Amino acid sequence: MSSRIDEANREALERVLKSRPVLKTIAIARDVIPGMDENTLLHAGPPITWDRMSGPVRGAVIGALLLEGRASTPEEAAELAASGKIRFDSCHHHQAVGPMAGLISPSMPVYVVENETYGNRAYATLNEGYGKVLRYGAYDEEVLNRLRWMANTMAPVLKAAIEAVGGIDLKAMMAQAIHMGDEGHNRNKAGSALFLRALAGAIARNAPDAETAAQVLEFMAGNELTFLNPVMAACKATMDAAHGIEGSTMVTAMARNGTDFGIRVSGLGDRWFTAPSKVPDGLYFPGFGPEHANPDVGDSTITETAGIGGFAMAAAPAIVQFIGGTPEMALEATHEMYEITLGENEAFGIPHLNFRGTPTGIDIRKVVETGIVPRINTGIAHKEPGIGQIGAGLVQPPMECFIQAVEAMAEALG
Amino acid sequence: MSSRIDEANREALERVLKSRPVLKTIAIARDVIPGMDENTLLHAGPPITWDRMSGPVRGAVIGALLLEGRASTPEEAAELAASGKIRFDSCHHHQAVGPMAGLISPSMPVYVVENETYGNRAYATLNEGYGKVLRYGAYDEEVLNRLRWMANTMAPVLKAAIEAVGGIDLKAMMAQAIHMGDEGHNRNKAGSALFLRALAGAIARNAPDAETAAQVLEFMAGNELTFLNPVMAACKATMDAAHGIEGSTMVTAMARNGTDFGIRVSGLGDRWFTAPSKVPDGLYFPGFGPEHANPDVGDSTITETAGIGGFAMAAAPAIVQFIGGTPEMALEATHEMYEITLGENEAFGIPHLNFRGTPTGIDIRKVVETGIVPRINTGIAHKEPGIGQIGAGLVQPPMECFIQAVEAMAEALG
């Protein structure tokens, strides 16, 4: 049985390593995301109902309903959300991913990423920047106006620019960013600068006027998380290609909805293995502490699932200034992840480890055997809606998810 | 005597560490560089006459005379250069620095960098990119047309953009780039992306039309050495502020003219201590080898003089793919440089060394005592004019320069 699993895992890992995610264009969610309709709202993590949603996810739902014109006050929006008329579903069920609350509503523009090796696609929204933003559950006029500007002004320009440059090879750009101190999850400073660099000329050429070009460029220049969302879609397109291989014990998704932490496994179909999401450990912004923190939330753990983020910490020592710890601990984090993964991604070489590839392909068996859970970098959301990010740090996925999955695999394989 | 030197060195180092170079604008060389006139050509390194110039420097002189309209053929230009009618002088004698041949002719646009702490200024040309370029001695029509476009089209847009953003704090940007895997000499990939990011919006807003904005942005995006020249001017503005402190044994300039390697020392006035320049060790582009290489050339060693470049190798492990060696050797290079320097620049923290500052302020006494010469990263020029870069690697400055300087200091101090 072990050799049958090993063979399945070899194939699953190979599909991860051979994937080539390319950013093709930007489109409107309702036009491209399978199964998306006017009454659907997608959210991060495993499926969850309104009554169990945490503050920031509820805030983002309220904001999305206001944005869509389905309600005119937050109270109306909350009432509609609770009415049963809105279908909530996981981004992951629709080839999509979203950071933090991960809300995708029908009118939002999304990046369209294609895995050119296997032909599958993945989608992610455009990053809103810092502070009070929808993904942290904020929904005031400033937040909604920014989203409107992004949809009406920025997205068409970016779409034209992306198409004008013939798409962006995200895997190659991520590899460069890892050589430049990014880990691709909490730190996307280099990647965001490279992304801007790749598009700047085409943005100037394709904007309706100079002022619009300048505003789009300045918005991107001011947001070092610009590249996070394309990276997440790239990781999703990669891991989806490795999903559904019978007998494989490789994790293909880790995601949190702010209440539950869930994982999916290549050989275990569409089932989620869930347990309560924990509060991250990390550095808090002034005036905030763990008592204000929401349990961990977001689909951005797709980065760790694909072998970057916390797994590539050794490439990103400067991140410890943001999430706490020392550069030595960053090296150790990556070294530890080699113990629970199936292989290494040579495309993502870590310079300080002599270009050794990042640890890639979490094996649920190794997690349970070693007792080592995946290392996850994360942002920390305030537990009340409408406030936003209050820190950044590390979070431990619950071991129960991996134990459940191992048990399910044992059952499946008889 | 030793305590008198130590005190002078403390002051010299303090001036380096307290310097704050800011890019203020772009201007035409003849309008801003002190002592520049229509018959002056500035070059890299210590002073040198036409008859002793190496191939790439001669090629750059020929190109500059063609560019200035002082000759209509390369032969005419060479004749004029040999006639005695052109005054050749070191960039360093005019508050300026130039990479490789380092040619600055009167009509060229230059970055204007001000050391806001001490009020002195420094100048450097705009980087031309790779391949056949003037700084490697190429002078065909393609090279000259590019320089004309840079002067007539790019420079005015960049000037307006730099002024529109209120200047650029180069020290802060260099610090960020060092956190992103640059060492600031051979690797300026992160810095160039950050520089583009800082100016992109203002370029779009200030260009005469969208196509010009796009072309300027694309030129900068295609050149990962864009940031080298502002960095060099920043280092020059920093080291000039520490020059002229009686009794100080700190090196304030290291520079090569392609024939001689020269250094200047804070307490030893304007004198150069020179010895023959060596051929770098490194990786050659396909089809080239050491037999094609010119002796080391350029003012870019001002980066190492200021404590980055080869001294910051530990921050830039990915550079070994370009210049040879291993990431381990990169760490060792920085560790070794702590042995010959007066202090550490906390502004330039190296993440993998737990943010320890780069080794800064070369002490000629320590070099002679330890036998350790400064570590220099460099590009390799073909020895014939007009060909260009053929590799990149490391070069050893001649120990004789440091011995001469120590002897001169002993004499000066009685």
pLDDT at B175: 98
User: Which chain B residue lies closest to A217 (C-alpha atoms)?
Assistant: B201
For residue A207, what pLDDT is reported?
98
Rounded to a whole number, what is the distance in Å from the CA of B375 to chain A's nearest CA? 20
Alpha carbons B343 and B331: distance in angstroms, whole number:
17
User: Looking at chain A, which residues constitute the CATH 3.90.1710.10 domain(s)?
Assistant: 21-231
CB contact under 8 A, B214 and A204: yes
Is the pLDDT assigned to residue B104 strictly greater than 70?
yes
Percent of chain A residues topping a pLDDT of 70 = 100
Q: Do B193 and A198 touch (CB under 8 A)?
A: no
> Residue B207 and residue A203: Cβ atoms within 8 Å?
no
What's the fold here for domain A21-231? Enterococcus faecalis V583 fold (3.90.1710)
Structure tokens at A30: 């309702």
What CATH number labels B244-412? 3.90.1700.10
Band of residue B1 on the pLDDT scale cut at 50, 70, 90: low
Would you call A213 an interface residue with chain B, using a CB distance cutoff of 8 Å? yes
The residue length of chain B stands at: 414
pLDDT band at B2 (very low <50, low <70, confident <90, very high): confident
- Search chain A and give the residue with CA nearest B313: A352
* Cβ-Cβ contacts under 8 Å, B352 against chain A: 317, 327, 352
pLDDT above 70 (res A271): yes
C-beta separation of B389 from B379 below 8 A: yes
Decide: B68 and B107 in contact? Cβ < 8 Å.
Answer: yes
Nearest residue to A196 via CA among A163, A220, A228: A220
Nearest Cα to B272, choosing from B299, B295, B303? B299
| Strand (E) or helix (H) holding A79 | helix A74-82
Q: Which residue has the higher pLDDT, A385 or B218?
A: B218
Share of chain B above pLDDT 90, in %: 90
Q: What is the pLDDT of residues A135-189, one digit of tens each?
A: 999 999 999 999 999 999 999 999 999 999 999 999 999 999 999 999 999 999 9
Cβ separation A221–B213 shorter than 8 A: no
Closest to A214 (Cβ–Cβ): which among B205, B218, B318? B205
> To which CATH superfamily is domain A242-412 assigned?
v583 domain like (3.90.1700.10)
Strands B297-298 and B251-257 come out as antiparallel
How far apart CA A131 and CA A275 sit, in angstroms, is 29
Q: Where in chain A do CATH 3.90.1700.10 domains reside?
A: 242-412
pLDDT of residue B321: 81
Query: pLDDT for A80-90, tens place per residue?
Result: 999 999 999 99
Per-residue pLDDT at A1 exceeds 70: no
**DSSP summary character for residue B37:** -
In order, the DSSP letters of A107-156 are T-EEEEEEETTT--EEEEE----SSS-GGGT--SHHHHHHHHHIIIIIHH
Q: In what order do the strands lie in the sheet with A21-28?
A: A96-97, A121-125, A109-115, A21-28, A168-169
pLDDT of B198 over the 90 cut: yes
Asked if A194 reaches chain B (Cβ–Cβ under 8 Å), the answer is yes
pLDDT at B297: 96
Q: What confidence tens digit (pLDDT) does each residue in A20-32 have?
A: 999 999 999 999 9
Chain B contact present for A318, CB below 8 A: yes
B215 touching chain A per CB within 8 A: yes
Q: Which of A198, A205, A327 sits opposite B352 (nearest CB)?
A: A327
pLDDT at B117 > cutoff 70: yes
State pLDDT tens for residues B262-281: 999 999 999 999 999 999 98
Contacts of B123 (CB under 8 A, 6+ apart): B29, B32, B33, B94, B95, B96, B97, B104, B110, B111, B112, B113, B233
Interface test with B, best of A173, A211, A217 (most B CBs within 10 A): A217
Buried b (16+ CB within 10 A) or exposed e, A13-26: bebbbebbbbbbbb
DSSP symbol at A175? H
Contacts of B328 in chain A (CB under 8 A): 354
Mutate which of B153, B157, B178, B180 to disrupt the A interface (most A C-beta within 10 Å)?
B180
Q: Is A202 in contact with B211 (Cβ distance < 8 A)?
A: no
Among A337-351, A370-384, B166-180, B320-334, the range scoring the smallest mean pLDDT is B320-334
B168/B199 Cα distance (integer angstroms)? 9
Helix (H) or strand (E) holding B190: helix B189-206
Contacts of B107 (CB under 8 A, 6+ apart): B28, B29, B30, B67, B68, B151
DSSP helix/strand/coil, B176: helix
CB contacts < 8 A (A, B) = 113
Q: What is the pLDDT of residue A32?
A: 98
| Residue A110 near residue A355, CB atoms below 8 Å | no
DSSP letter at B150? I
